[in-house]
Amino acid sequence: MAYTADANKKFQKELNSGSASLVLLSILAQADEPMYGYRIAKLMEVDDESVPMMKQGALYPVLRSLESSGLLESHVDPSVSGPPRRYYKITKAGLATLKSWTRIWSQTKAFVDGILKGKTDV
Amino acid sequence: MCKDVNEYLVKLKKELAGCDPALIQDALSDAEGHLRMALDEALLGKPSLSKPEAIASIIGKYGHPEEIASAYRAIESRTSPALAVSREKETGSSWARFFGVLAEPRAWGAFFYMLLSLVTGVVFGGWALFAGIISVISLVFIIGIPIVGLFLLSIRGIVFLEGRIVEALLGIRMPSRPLFLDQNLSLKGKFMALVKESFTWKSLLYTALQFPLGLIYSFGIFLLFALSLSFIGSPVLELLFHLPLELFGPEAFTPVWFLPFVCIAGFFLLPLTFHLARWVGKVHGKYAKSMLVRT
């Protein structure tokens, strides 16, 4: 049982490491205004309460990584209610990357779904 | 299980031991900002909730220190410093390496950093020196303490900006999140936290020293760059435009037989200038990191 739980955790982690960037780019592409990490984390929490895709704390290094790749840009603004916040916004390169990653995701999903469907049919 | 945010931060710092200090500072800033915001929101939204219950639920969602440390380590290992110029492998003959520096983004980054330090040195260093003196004098009056507090906060803002410039041009990983003071502290507590922290004084010293350093860097590199270009262009300048290099005295033209040697010297001086810039950039980057990253 413990092995299954560990294997599930590992599988989830491997899936997340690839899809987290796609999810974050997509959220920021749909946002009307720049968003800060906590707000993005809350949005993901609302979107999928049953299966947390990833720990909220793991979003921050992904955001930094996307920014250093030029897919996001950010600025720091003071906040009246707390510490200064770093606001992220998707760049033109980020939108183009999101488009091509979405295509890859759809192809991968269709392929995996096909295989899984085939197996259950057997 | 962590009882409060501070305990979480201590554990996270321990889990990140051995990582780049700038990464540790970023991870701690991210966690502190997120957890405090989540805690305030949880306690406001559900006043019946006890603080330990709220903390446990928030940490469950945010991730335990070991999980978060591992996420930062994994991503950092494949992320280069933001906007940093790439590191080239030094290959080829010694001649190729000597002249190849001119095509190296890292050397150009350091070159521009040294030129830019005229502006940053005068503005940042000037502010540190003159506003520092004014705020010390103001301590005689009752309004002195808030003025000193605001001045020290401004220095934190300046070193954050300087850190971003250092990372962009010198390729050294610097904090990407600004430091902040615990919002739960009183004004007096915030002031004391600012004054007691060695980071504040190291930042102030760094900013003040940027004034003379900026002048030395910018004038030094500009002089060498201008000399190199004028040496290279000496035959054209002297023979075509009749502009003397004045190597042999005021308004003296260089003997024609000597001009090819001056021109060749220029072709060597230019890469030497860029080697010097790259070396200064490397040393300054290490110095900036030791002064501007909270450990």
We report the CATH number of the domain holding residue A59 as: 1.10.10.10
What residue numbers bound the domain in which A116 lies? 2-121
Checking if the pLDDT of B102 tops 70, the result is: yes
- Give the C-alpha distances (Å, rounded to integers) separating A71 from A24, A64, A94, B71, B177: 11, 10, 4, 20, 18
Confidence at residue A122, expressed as pLDDT on a 0 to 100 scale: 45
Confidence at residue B214, expressed as pLDDT on a 0 to 100 scale: 95
β-bridge pairing A72-77 and A35-36: unpaired
Q: Which residue of A has its CA nearest to B38?
A: A38
Q: Which residue of B has its CA nearest to A51?
A: B61
Whose structure tokens read 């335990």?
B64
Of A38, A58, A76, the CB nearest to B68: A58
Confidence at residue A62, expressed as pLDDT on a 0 to 100 scale: 92
Confidence at residue B83, expressed as pLDDT on a 0 to 100 scale: 43
Q: How far apart are CA A22 and CA A64, in angstroms?
A: 14
Across residues B192-206, what is the average pLDDT?
90
Those residues of chain A whose CB sits closer than 8 Å to some CB in chain B are 17, 37-38, 41, 45, 52, 55-58, 60-62, 64-65, 67-69, 76, 81-86
Q: Which of B288, B294, B290, B293 is CA-nearest to residue B124? A: B288
Residues paired with A86 in a beta bridge: A76
The pair of structure tokens assigned to A99 is 């488009």
- Give the C-alpha distances (Å, rounded to integers) separating B274 from B70, B97, B285: 39, 12, 16
Q: How far apart are CA B255 and CA B197, in angstroms?
A: 62
Across residues B243-268, what is the average pLDDT?
84
Task: Tell me whether residues A57 and B83 touch, CB distance under 8 A.
Answer: no
Tell whether B176 lies on the interface with A, counting CB pairs under 8 A.
Answer: yes
Per residue in B109-132, pLDDT (tens digit) is 999 999 999 999 999 999 999 999
Checking if the pLDDT of B242 tops 50, the result is: yes
Confidence at residue A120, expressed as pLDDT on a 0 to 100 scale: 56
User: What whole-number percentage of chain B has pLDDT above 70?
Assistant: 94
Confidence at residue B175, expressed as pLDDT on a 0 to 100 scale: 86
Of B76, B178, B183, the CB nearest to A76: B178
Tell whether B230 lies on the interface with A, counting CB pairs under 8 A.
Answer: no
Task: Tell me whether residues A38 and B37 touch, CB distance under 8 A.
Answer: yes
Task: Tell me whether residues B68 and A57 touch, CB distance under 8 A.
Answer: yes
Confidence at residue B91, expressed as pLDDT on a 0 to 100 scale: 65
Confidence at residue A81, expressed as pLDDT on a 0 to 100 scale: 62
Instruction: Give the single-character DSSP code of B79.
Output: -
Q: Which of B179, B203, B197 is CA-nearest to residue B30? A: B179
Residue B155 burial by Cβ neighbours in a 10 Å radius (0-12, 13-18, 19+): buried
| pTM of the model as a whole | 0.74
Q: Which residues does chain B have within 8 Å of residue A37's beta carbon, measured at their own beta carbons?
A: 30, 33-34
Task: Tell me whether residues B72 and A61 touch, CB distance under 8 A.
Answer: yes
User: What whole-number percentage of chain A has pLDDT above 90?
Assistant: 51
Q: How far apart are CA B194 and CA A84, in angstroms?
A: 16
Task: Tell me whether residues B36 and A82 touch, CB distance under 8 A.
Answer: yes
Of B208 and B44, the structure prediction assigns the larger pLDDT to B208
Q: Which residues does chain B have within 8 Å of residue A83's beta carbon, measured at their own beta carbons?
A: 29, 32-33, 36-37, 180, 183
Q: Which residues does chain B have within 8 Å of residue A57's beta carbon, measured at their own beta carbons?
A: 30-31, 34, 62-63, 67-68, 71
Per residue in A10-39, pLDDT (tens digit) is 777 777 777 889 999 999 999 999 999 999
Q: Which residues does chain A have within 8 Å of residue B19's beta carbon, measured at their own beta carbons?
A: none
Confidence at residue B144, expressed as pLDDT on a 0 to 100 scale: 83
Indicate the domain borders of chain B: 5-76, 94-231+262-292
Confidence at residue B80, expressed as pLDDT on a 0 to 100 scale: 60
Q: Which residue of A has its CA nearest to B161?
A: A76
B85 CA to centre of own chain: 14
Across residues B50-54, what is the average pLDDT?
86
Task: Tell me whether residues B61 and A67 touch, CB distance under 8 A.
Answer: no
Tell whether B86 lies on the interface with A, counting CB pairs under 8 A.
Answer: no
With cut-offs at 50, 70 and 90, classify the pLDDT of residue A46. Answer: low
Radius of gyration of chain B (CA): 26
Taking all residues of chain B, what is their mean pLDDT, rounded to a whole number?
87
ipTM over 0.85: no
Q: How far apart are CA A118 and CA A116, in angstroms?
A: 5
Q: A30-39 burial, b if ≥16 CB within 10 A, otherwise e?
A: eeeebbbbbb
- Give the C-alpha distances (Å, rounded to integers) separating B73 from A62, A64, B45, B205: 11, 13, 34, 31
B146 CA to centre of own chain: 27
Q: How far apart are CA A56 and CA B59, in angstroms?
A: 9
Q: Which residues does chain A have within 8 Å of residue B163's beta carbon, measured at their own beta carbons?
A: none
Within chain B, where are the H helices? 5-15, 21-45, 51-62, 65-76, 94-100, 105-120, 126-138, 144-170, 187-196, 198-232, 234-235, 259-292
Q: How far apart are CA B216 and CA B280, in angstroms?
A: 11
Of A55, A67, A68, the CB nearest to B68: A55
Specify the 3-state DSSP secondary structure of B1: coil
Per residue in A64-119, pLDDT (tens digit) is 889 988 999 998 887 666 677 889 999 999 999 999 999 999 999 999 999 988 86
Closest approach of chain A CAs to the CA of B156, in angstroms?
13
Across residues B245-254, what is the average pLDDT?
77
The pair of structure tokens assigned to B281 is 């950039």
Confidence at residue B90, expressed as pLDDT on a 0 to 100 scale: 60
Query: Other CB atoms closer than 10 Å to residue B181's CB: what's the count?
Result: 16
Q: Which residues does chain A have within 8 Å of residue B74's beta carbon, measured at their own beta carbons?
A: 17, 61
Across residues B203-207, what is the average pLDDT?
95
Checking if the pLDDT of B89 tops 70, the result is: no
Of B250 and A120, the structure prediction assigns the larger pLDDT to B250
The total number of structural domains in chain A stands at 1
Per residue in B134-157, pLDDT (tens digit) is 888 888 887 888 899 899 999 998
